[in-house]
Structure 1
Amino acid sequence: MVSRYRMALLQCMDLLCILVALGIVGVLAIEPELSVFDDYTGASLFTIFFYMLFFYILDAYSVGVEDFRDSVVRVLLAGVLAIISSATSSYVFDHWRFDRASTGLLFVLSMCFCLGWRLFYYRNTDKLTFQMRVLLVGVDRAGKVRQLLAEGLPTARIIGYVGEPDMDPDAGPCLGAPYDVLNIARDRRATTILLLPDAPIDDDIAHDLLEAKLRGRMVVDIRSFYEHVVQRLPISQINDEWLLQTEGFSLNTRGSLRRLKRAFDVLISLVLLVPAAPIMALTALLIRLESPGPVIYRQDRVGLHEREFTVYKFRSMRTDAEKDGAVWASANDSRVTRVGKFIRKVRIDELPQIWNILKGDMSFIGPRPERMAFVSKLKEHIPYYSLRHTVKPGLTGWAQVCYPYGASEEDSRRKLEYDLYYVKNMSILLDIHIIFKTVGVVLFPKGAR
């Protein structure tokens, strides 16, 4: 997952590339007496908007995280969709569209520039990547903190901690007492000071930490830091007290947000039904032709406040798939039919759940509903698992667009961290953000089974 700050920087790079491409097109392909930005304002704005929109939707900013070939495919597909959309949108305005030669040149230049800086980045990742030097204040669960940073911010380096000497090797070296944190941070060139749950902070230490923050160092609680940078809540670090005092979880305390979300769910579901209807009809026909049995699969799932409801999906497995009881789906699952494999990959099997949304059992955005057999087991082993049931389950969600399909207890733990982030930060803007990312996941399927 790319942090929001890094993504903003990479988006600025693409914006600059598109502006440069527009400028070159204005010199080479536009009449000398005309300006690409003044006389073709509409066409330029449409171009910028759709290029940036499809780069965002197709998640073209995992630079250095995924294989370069995947980035090339994402950028090229985004460019094709953008040029088609901008040309279509500006077609009704005679003076707001580029001619074919200008459009083709703009596409070639934009792709060359946007892929060019990505190639440069891949070849110089070590030189261009900023290394965060982290100093821990406290030692409790420091090993978990090291693991969290390795997963979410692999370039970060923990230089040690201040606090009582500890025998846990995962905590790193003890660099001194908490009262000397300011000097230690300066001498060790720490860029970030992370406060662990057991950080021994009194008034004097708090004053020193404030001074360090005013001098440009990041001083932040590990839970808040991880939430805002990695965009999930670290289960190993949170507790009841922090959850009680932290901001968020406003859906259950703000009736206006709850009503607005319900209206949003109904509106999106009705709009989605129009393009989904012929796809659903064709899917039903293909399922019926391939294997005997019902087209729609009904299953009890756990919803709001752990009440069970019946969820509807297109059947993607053989009718005897669970003759021996409920089991997780696995990679290359032999129970999945050929049609089922495809509709799972592109999420078509979930479309009948539009009916669940209109009924009010589900929301368009929310944690995915699980079966009671799995929920009962996961509640025993994963802290705060029940919190995901304080909101309605969703057709898609933050965990679904950020983490591949999970088929184990550890996967469920990780997805819960994303679900808790969503429950805590729920808003209509976040829902719209998830919808855009869902489109990208459908176009580039990740981990569907």
Structure 2
Amino acid sequence: MKRVFDVSLALLAMLVLGLPWLLVALAVRLTSPGPVLYWSDRVGRLNRLFKMPKFRSMRIDTPAVATHLLQNPEAWLTPIGSFLRKSSLDELPQLWSILKGDMSFVGPRPALFNQDDLIALRTEAGVDRLLPGLTGWAQVNGRDELPIPQKVELDAAYLRRRSFAFDVYILWLTAMKVIRREGVSH
């Protein structure tokens, strides 16, 4: 049922968000050199790597590390990068990953390939068995501000509590956070 929900919602979102998607792509293209999409190596279900697309919000010479590990993250942003991140519009291309089956709407956010500490703790907690999500329980409870062990605790709590109703609740909380721009990376 979860896969049917993911595919149906992703297709609907792509239809509804088609024009904004094109406008964001055009804005990225016109405001900075480089490709419109950034394909990031991410850790998926059972720790398999997959390529996750995002609208590019950072310069093409940005190191491939988690944003919070950059010395001055704002210096790496494109002219519209801050807006894309605050509005979460940079996440729209991940609908492709959901359609492809690499991701779900709800699950633990996919780790970067080099986040060894996060990957190890998730594997130990059994969270690696889940498809990564566009949003998740950790996302609505602190997002980037959470220390890694707490993030994994929340991911493990999602693993134990997961259900269709819980997913809908997390999607609702995510929508509220995006509208209020709470806990969003700059």
Q: 1:345 to 1:307 in 2, by over 3 A?
A: same
Q: Which whole-Å CA distance do the structure 1 matches of 2:40 and 2:88 have between them?
A: 17
Q: 1:390 — aligned with what?
A: 129
Q: Which whole-Å CA distance do the structure 1 matches of 2:29 and 2:97 have between them?
A: 22
Deviation for aligned residue 1:401: 1.1
- Which of 61, 80, 104 is 1:320 aligned to? 61
Q: Which whole-Å CA distance do the structure 2 matches of 1:448 and 1:429 have between them?
A: 25
Count, aligned residues: 182
Deviation for aligned residue 1:439: 0.9
1:92-171 equivalences in 2 (<5 Å):
none
1:292 aligns with 2:33: yes
Q: 1:378 — aligned with what?
A: 118
Contact 2:43 2:112 in 1 (8 A): yes
Q: Which whole-Å CA distance do the structure 1 matches of 2:43 and 2:157 have between them?
A: 20
Q: Which whole-Å CA distance do the structure 2 matches of 1:436 and 1:335 have between them?
A: 31
1:364 aligns with 2:102: no
Q: 1:306 — aligned with what?
A: 47
Higher RCO (CA-CA < 8 Å; seq separation 6+): 2
Gaps spanning 5+ residues in structure 2: where? none
1:329 aligns with 2:67: yes
Q: Which whole-Å CA distance do the structure 1 matches of 2:74 and 2:13 have between them?
A: 30
1:25-424 equivalences in 2 (<5 Å):
260-322=1-63, 326-330=64-68, 332-374=73-115, 376-379=116-119, 382=121, 385=124, 387-406=126-145, 411-424=147-160
Q: 1:291 to 1:392 in 2, by over 3 A?
A: same
Q: 1:187 — aligned with what?
A: none
Contact 2:111 2:119 in 1 (8 A): no
330-339 or 432-441, larger mean C-alpha shift: 330-339
Q: What per-residue deviation string (whole Å, max 9, x for no partner) do you get for residues 252-288 of structure 1?
A: xxxxxxxx11111111111111221111111111111
Q: 1:321 to 1:332 in 2, by over 3 A?
A: closer
Letter in 2 for 1:433: Y
Which structure has the larger Rg over C-alpha atoms? 1
Gaps spanning 5+ residues in structure 1: where? 1-259
Contact 1:365 1:396 in 2 (8 A): yes
Q: 1:405 to 1:369 in 2, by over 3 A?
A: same
Deviation for aligned residue 1:416: 1.2
How well do the aligned residues superpose, as a CA RMSD in angstroms?
Answer: 1.7
Q: 1:336 to 1:386 in 2, by over 3 A?
A: farther
Q: What per-residue deviation string (whole Å, max 9, x for no partner) do you get for residues 377-427 of structure 1?
A: 3355x4755522111001111111111324xxx612111111111111110
Contact 2:122 2:152 in 1 (8 A): no
Q: What per-residue deviation string (whole Å, max 9, x for no partner) do you get for residues 82-120 of structure 1?
A: xxxxxxxxxxxxxxxxxxxxxxxxxxxxxxxxxxxxxxx
Letter in 1 for 2:131: K
DSSP 3-state at the match of 1:430? helix
What percentage of residue pairs aligned between the two structures are identical? 41
Q: Which whole-Å CA distance do the structure 2 matches of 1:304 and 1:333 have between them?
A: 31
